[in-house]
Structure 1
């Protein structure tokens, strides 16, 4: 049976802290209530979120032949995601992130690339892509072996088959890839229907502080629709038809890990439902909001029924820029 979404990209095992009051000083010990393990990485998170929303998803990525890799694959399968496209490599470990949550602050990440560094476009089957409705690639710029003309060709083939291409990125501070983030990203934007960076990532890529200016630069490179998420300030959407500013839904915040991926999943849900730009923003904002109810990347995410009830009870301000 064809997938609704082919979800490809980075797979990670997350080791998280529950919120602490402050970071420890050198040599100091600080207690937290718990340090759970959870799946993470854009492709894993979006796959779980969309499966919970009732969509058929096949995930494609790489893990190591180690206990963390087994944990990632088992967790995805238990969530209902098709995991036949995950490659297990014995020559490298599974990517792992230590995620430190400090009360009132954004998360801090310490991460290994692991098997993500060895994942290549040839491991995303064209037949599966052509039969899907959406091809999602998450964590681009954090999986260097994907950054080549074969990935661009796969996006081109997907679009030629009528498949929507959706792209998100992870921008590391240093040490990954050759060339600037912009030089590495621009070729793929020309084959991208929807690009979904957050404001910080977009600033690192473009050097511009204004989200609208960021979006326009991405569109000038060929991205058809650009959505820049801005945390508590909402999100902006720019394409040939509209320029929109979306607010945020009220929610009790516990942790932000996975919230951007949840927004992506919600936006894709809107696309699959045939929604317009406003409807896609509502779906993205609702699923993103549900994610922050938990410290993990996926545990708090709504089902479709829960999301519909939430959106019906909470209007979202979406206005023209």
Structure 2
């Protein structure tokens, strides 16, 4: 097997995040469930954007956030995602490349507008996400650079992109190329609504031994297994994948590989500001550890450090030096 030219190649929704403050009254007026994520169409995206307060824009999307976190940790990271030939598409391309992430997916003029996520953050740091997928859900198999997939040490995929049929086919093609090249495949379940819609498909991926590393949170673990008890669910799902990683918010995280189980507490923080991207950055830290051939506990620790940094400010991208925070771990 040749040496990888990228440590991790992520594939996911290329979304521009627009983050703004909101209060509970605004959420109530708009009939939005606090802490939820809903899919909206372009008309609703324009309407809600017009009602939001001042916002900040940054390239986002779950796997894109993870790629950015990996680059901040000094890991060679790439990203594949579809944007349109419009202003937000140009913002996305410039932003993610400026972070050191390789991003070469051509923009298209026939896929509608670039995707955006309107994120409303309340005073308790909960984020309510309203996502217009637009061009992102038009990532076609021919947009996947299969040679880049074959030359990456780890292929990382987000469950959000499994929902539309076209990008699902693209992800299947990428998985096939990675497996043929003997590379590892990592997959995140992303959200309970993804699990509810595609539970059978996700279990098929595991049963066919197409996933080496699976990321989930407690709610997703319960949704995948039907088990309310954490340890029972953990035992059930870990039997189906070589490495299972489950985040537990303020209770830290657990990883199970074969007969080995490791856990770490959540890192202490000064102030919880915005939980946007916590899981994405945790995955970045953990994958960084795996790319450097670290053990489960050290990889979990890196994930906890990266997640703790991102929840102490607005946005899903690190603002402090993650390499410095990681210290001797990397």
TM-score, structure 2 normalization: 0.81
Q: Are 1:247 and 2:249 an aligned pair?
A: no
Equivalences for residues 53-202 of structure 1 within 5 A: 53-104=73-124, 106-138=126-158, 139-148=160-169, 151-152=171-172, 154-171=174-191, 173=193, 180-189=197-206, 190-202=209-221
8 A Cα contact 1:158 1:164, kept in partner = yes
Q: Counterpart of 1:49?
A: 69
SS in 2 for 1:147: helix
8 A Cα contact 1:266 1:284, kept in partner = yes
Q: Counterpart of 1:315?
A: none
TM-score, structure 1 normalization: 0.84
Q: Are 1:269 and 2:288 an aligned pair?
A: yes
Q: Check 1:68–1:292 CA distance in 2 against 1; reply closer, same or farther (3 A cut).
A: same
SS in 2 for 1:85: coil
CA distance in 2, matches of 1:27, 1:143: 26
Q: Counterpart of 1:6?
A: 9
SS in 1 for 2:155: strand
SS in 2 for 1:288: helix
Indicate the larger mover: 287-296 or 197-206. Answer: 197-206
* CA shift for structure 1 position 142: 4.1
Indicate the larger mover: 224-233 or 32-41. Answer: 32-41
Normalized per residue, which structure has more helix?
2
Structure 1: where are the runs of 5+ without partners? Answer: 313-321
* CA shift for structure 1 position 172: 6.7
Q: Check 1:157–1:32 CA distance in 2 against 1; reply closer, same or farther (3 A cut).
A: closer
* CA shift for structure 1 position 167: 0.9
CA deviation string 1:228-271 (max 9, x = no partner)? 11111211222212123321110122111111110111001101
* CA shift for structure 1 position 118: 1.2
Q: Counterpart of 2:245?
A: 227
Structure 2: where are the runs of 5+ without partners? Answer: 32-50
Q: Which has the higher contact order (CA 8 A, sep 6+)?
A: 2
8 A Cα contact 1:16 1:100, kept in partner = yes
| Residues matched between the structures, number | 303
